[in-house]
């Protein structure tokens, strides 16, 4: 038995099996006595329903139930998430990749049940569980918070790669898009791309510089880049990377700056780390635009042993 082949009657019967007759009747109180009898008969007929099918039916019902609840709560006067209709399932899943469970749940609540399941299946395992919980709380958000979240997502959606860019193998164009995105979002995308499409990843890497790539620059160029930022930003930016990389970054600095450098002790919020890394990336791109460095020498050049 496969979920895709189930009729509406079959799904209702499986829900009666999972929820129990008493709870199911309370939930489906609008059904006529005739429909209830048909569902009960079908529930007795369906034997040995696989667990994965029961789970899929329950998730679809849960999504539909919570979506309707959210719509009733927030009303239909404003549609801040209308932009989602223009995005593919893959684009929405990527947009949600680094978001909190509450935002993932809120976005899922805006979608039709078929799209919800398609995107739900693309989420990481941990995201799925937490998003379901948070989806139940989506209706409690005030309208101002909802509109603010929608506005932020809509703005970032402008920079999402389109399917056509993948099909053309346009590594350079895709790299341009990634360079406009937040550093953490772009890095997550590259990590995912390296696993799912290694060939395209290699093509993009010829044009796209990650934070780790900066430390492949020649000493004099790396010195110029790091001299362009504050030492506090450098200390935050290198938090969590290999000690030998940090040591090289400090070594290329002028001696006065080396003496003034102080590492960040203790834990540091990811947001602060990525903001600091973004400043370094901006410095590199500015130097590239001004012709001071040529990233192709680092990213696409042939190495000689």
- The yes-or-no answer to whether 163-204 and 212-298 have a common fold is no
Q: What's the mean pLDDT in 205-229?
A: 84
Q: What's the mean pLDDT in 234-258?
A: 91
For residue 302, the model assigns a pLDDT of: 43
| pLDDT confidence bin for 159, thresholds 50/70/90 | confident
For residue 69, the model assigns a pLDDT of: 52
| pLDDT confidence bin for 271, thresholds 50/70/90 | confident
Q: Give the predicted TM-score (pTM) of the model.
A: 0.41
Listed by start position, the domains of the chain span 1-49, 58-160, 163-204, 212-298
pLDDT at 70 over 60: no
CATH number of 163-204: 1.20.5
Q: What's the mean pLDDT in 126-138?
A: 67
Query: What is the share, in percent, of the chain residues with pLDDT greater than 70?
Result: 81
| pLDDT confidence bin for 259, thresholds 50/70/90 | very high
User: Is residue 17 within 8 Å of residue 46, measured between CB atoms?
Assistant: yes
Q: What CATH class does 212-298 carry?
A: mainly alpha
For residue 236, the model assigns a pLDDT of: 92
pLDDT at 17 over 70: yes
Q: What's the mean pLDDT in 47-73?
A: 70
- Between 32-36, 87-91, 118-122, the lowest mean confidence (pLDDT) is in 118-122
**Around 187, how many Cα atoms within 13 Å sit in the side-chain half-sphere?**
12
pLDDT at 305 over 50: no
Q: Higher pLDDT residue, 125 or 188?
A: 188
For residue 168, the model assigns a pLDDT of: 40
Highest mean pLDDT, choosing among 65-74, 107-116, 198-207, 241-250: 241-250
For residue 47, the model assigns a pLDDT of: 78
For residue 148, the model assigns a pLDDT of: 82
Average pLDDT, the chain: 78
Q: Given CA atoms 87, 89, 94, 99 in this order, what sign does their dihedral have?
A: positive
pLDDT in tens, 98-131: 788 888 888 888 888 778 878 877 777 667 777 7
Q: What is the 3-state secondary structure (H, E, C) of the chain?
A: CCHHHCCHHHHHHHHHHHHCHHHHHHHCCCCCHHHHHHHHHHHHHCCCCCHHHHHHHHHHHHHHHHHHHHHHHHCCCCCCCHHHHHCCHHHHHHHCCCCCHHHHHHHHHCCCHHHHHHHHHHCCHHHHHHHHHHHCCHHHCCHHHHHHHHHHHHHHHCCCCCHHHHHCCCHHHHHHHHHCCCHHHHHHHHHHHHHHCHHHHHHHHCCCCCCHHHHHCCHHHHHHHHHCCCHHHHHHHCCCCCHHHHHHHHHCCCHHHHHHCCCCCCCCCHHHHHHHHHHHHHHHHHHHHCCCCCCHHHHCCCCCC
Q: Higher pLDDT residue, 179 or 43?
A: 43
Q: Higher pLDDT residue, 34 or 209?
A: 34
Query: What is the share, in percent, of the chain residues with pLDDT greater than 90?
Result: 8
CATH number for 58-160: choose from 1.10.287.110, 1.10.220.30, 3.30.420.40, 1.10.10.10: 1.10.220.30
pLDDT in tens, 140-153: 566 677 788 888 88
pLDDT at 167 over 50: no
């Amino acid at each position: 038995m496969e979920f895709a082949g189930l009729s509406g009657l079959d799904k209702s019967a499986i829900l009666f099996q999972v929820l129990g007759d008493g709870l199911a009747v309370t939930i489906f109180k609008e059904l006529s006595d005739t429909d209830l009898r048909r569902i009960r008969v079908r529930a007795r007929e369906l034997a040995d329903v696989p667990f994965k099918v029961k789970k899929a039916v329950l998730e679809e019902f849960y999504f539909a139930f919570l979506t309707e609840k959210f719509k009733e709560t927030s009303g239909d006067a404003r549609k801040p998430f209308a932009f989602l209709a223009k995005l593919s399932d893959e684009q929405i899943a990527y947009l949600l990749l680094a978001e909190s469970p509450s935002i993932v749940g809120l976005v899922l609540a805006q979608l039709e049940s078929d799209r919800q399941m398609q995107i739900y299946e693309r989420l990481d395992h941990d995201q799925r569980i937490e998003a379901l919980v948070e989806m139940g709380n989506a209706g409690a958000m005030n309208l101002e918070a909802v509109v603010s979240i929608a506005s932020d997502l809509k703005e970032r959606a402008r920079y999402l790669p389109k399917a056509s860019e993948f099909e053309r193998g346009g590594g350079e164009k895709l790299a341009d898009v990634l360079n406009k995105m937040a550093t953490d979002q772009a890095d997550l995308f590259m990590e995912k791309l390296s696993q799912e499409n290694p060939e395209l990843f290699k093509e993009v890497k010829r044009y796209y510089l990650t934070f780790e790539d900066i430390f492949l620059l020649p000493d004099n160029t790396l010195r110029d880049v790091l001299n362009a930022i504050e030492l506090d930003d450098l200390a935050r930016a290198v938090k969590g990377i290999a000690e030998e990389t940090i040591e090289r970054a400090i070594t290329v600095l002028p001696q006065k700056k080396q003496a003034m450098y102080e590492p960040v002790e203790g834990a540091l919020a990811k947001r602060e780390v990525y903001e600091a890394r973004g400043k370094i990336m901006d410095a590199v791109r500015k130097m590239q635009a001004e012709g001071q460095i040529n990233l192709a020498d680092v990213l696409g050049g042939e190495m000689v042993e």
